[in-house]
Every structure is written in structure tokens, then in C-alpha cells.
Amino acid sequence: MEIKYANYLVSSALITQCPEHRQPEYAFIGRSNVGKSSLINMLTGNSKLAKTSAKPGKTILINHFAIFTDSPAGGAKKSASTPDWYLVDLPGYGFAQRSKTERDKLEQMIRSYILQREQMTNLFLLIDVRLEPQKIDLEFMQWLGQSSIPFSIVFTKADKLSRQKLTQNVNAYLERLSQEWEPLPPHFVTSAETKMGRSELLDYIDHINKSLQ
Ligand SMILES: Nc1nc2c(ncn2[C@@H]2O[C@H](COP(=O)(O)OP(=O)(O)OP(=O)(O)O)[C@@H](O)[C@H]2O)c(=O)[nH]1
Ligand SMILES: [Mg+2]
């Protein structure tokens, strides 16, 4: 599958403000600065679509992007202007420099989107591949499991490591996860810089879309 066109739709603070449609949504979550917005830009081939920043805490709303592909999902399309599916950029969690009130508000926004948004078909949980497994991510994954949310792991910033170190870190992370997860969630190794993992992620989304038809 290739994305032909992507456009920004809307930013919402509440799930009740999210757009009404019936197409599947794929959402990106993870710690602030892990590369969620950059990954959305990499997948869509539009570096200006989602706002990114070297400083953590950039995304503070639920952002919907409409995706048009060369592999229409959901059977016959109503019209050429009906998107095939949506990408959703979420605020990051765990940004220590935010006030507790602000952190709680964002956490509430994220969790209610994840739990209540019926269109949310698969959540991608992003992990910076350079880091050791972080408590906050492992706990978030446990919460996803307990809440029966389908999710996959996306390792980001692969370009920042040598091939050897990359394999080592991915394997060590999966090893750590295997203490709690059987089977392991699907995982992808990506770089927004080199586009590594792009076709794998798009094919995965395409595969899920087709299974929904
Ligand atoms: N080298 C490299 N840098 C990356 C990659 N992905 C993201 N970055 C950089 O990491 C920083 C944060 O990227 P964002 O995409 O804004 O991160 P985010 O997860 O959306 O952050 P918040 O919106 O604050 O939660 C930016 O400086 C990006 O250029 C990557 O794959 N490789
Ligand atoms: Mg962001």
C-alpha cells in the first residue's frame, strides 16, 4: 500500500469533539519526544503534516489526519473524497517538566481516547530504541493489556545506533517483554530520518484494514 495523499483534519481536546466517521484509526502514543509526530510525517511522506519539535511536549491535542491510499479499504468507496483511514497523533506522556495538573489532564485525554474511541483499530506504542526499558512504558503496556487494547511496538530513532547496537537493544527489549508477554506484541524498527520500517508499517496497516472488510 502507498499513501497517495494525507491531510490534517482537526485537533480535539475531548473525545466528544473527535470527527464522526466510520473508517479505522491508527493512533501513535509514547513518551514526549519519542518521535510520534515525526513518524506520522515519515509515513505520509509530508514533513510538514504533524508539528514536531526538538523540545518535548509539542503535541497537546488529539490530532486527526485523513489518509487516502492506492489500496482502498472498506470495499467500494462512497466518493473520492472519503478517506481510507486515519492517523491519529496523541500528546506524549511522562514529560516531567509539565505541572502535575497539566500532566493529569493530558493523561486523561489520552486514556479516554484509547478506551472509548470505537474507530481506534490499533495503537502504536513508540519506544526510543536507544534507551533501556523504562518503567513508565512497561506500566503503560500493562494497562493496555488489562484494558484489552490491541497495540504494537514501534522502536524509533534507529538511525542513531550502529547496526550491531540496534539489534542488541531490540533483542534486549523483547527479552524484557517476554517476562510479561506471551505472545509478544508485534514490533517494528523505524527511523523517521532514513524511512526504515516504513513499508513494513504501511503493509501492517493495510493487512489490518483488509481483515476488517
Ligand atoms: N535522528 C532521529 N531523530 C528523530 C527521529 N524521530 C524523531 N526525531 C527527533 O526527535 C524530536 C522529537 O520528535 P517529535 O516527532 O516531535 O516527537 P513527539 O513524540 O511527537 O513529541 P511530543 O509531541 O512532544 O510528545 C525531534 O527533534 C525529531 O526531529 C528519528 O527517527 N531519528
Ligand atoms: Mg508530537
Sketch the domain layout of the chain as residue ranges. Answer: 3-211
Contact 87, 43 (CB under 8 A): yes
Cell 472498506 belongs to 74
What ligand 1 atom has the least distance to the C-alpha of 32? 25
Q: Whose CA is nearest to atom 12 of ligand 1?
A: 33
Q: How far apart are CA 30 and CA 90, in angstroms?
A: 8
Segment 35-41 mean pLDDT: 96
Q: Which run of H or E residues covers position 116? A: helix 100-116
Cβ of residue 156 lying under 6 Å from some atom of ligand 1: yes
> What does the pLDDT read at residue 76?
52
pTM for this model (two decimals):
0.95
How many Å lie between the centroid of ligand 1 and the Cα of residue 14? 24
Q: Which of 30-34, 74-78, 138-142 has the lowest mean pLDDT?
A: 74-78
Q: Which of 39-43, 50-54, 122-126, 134-138 has the lowest mean pLDDT?
A: 50-54
Q: What is the CATH number of domain 3-211?
A: 3.40.50.300
Q: Whose CA is nearest to atom 27 of ligand 1?
A: 54
Name which of 16, 130, 34, 149 is nearest 89 in CA terms: 34
Report pLDDT digits (tens) over 125-134: 999 999 999 9
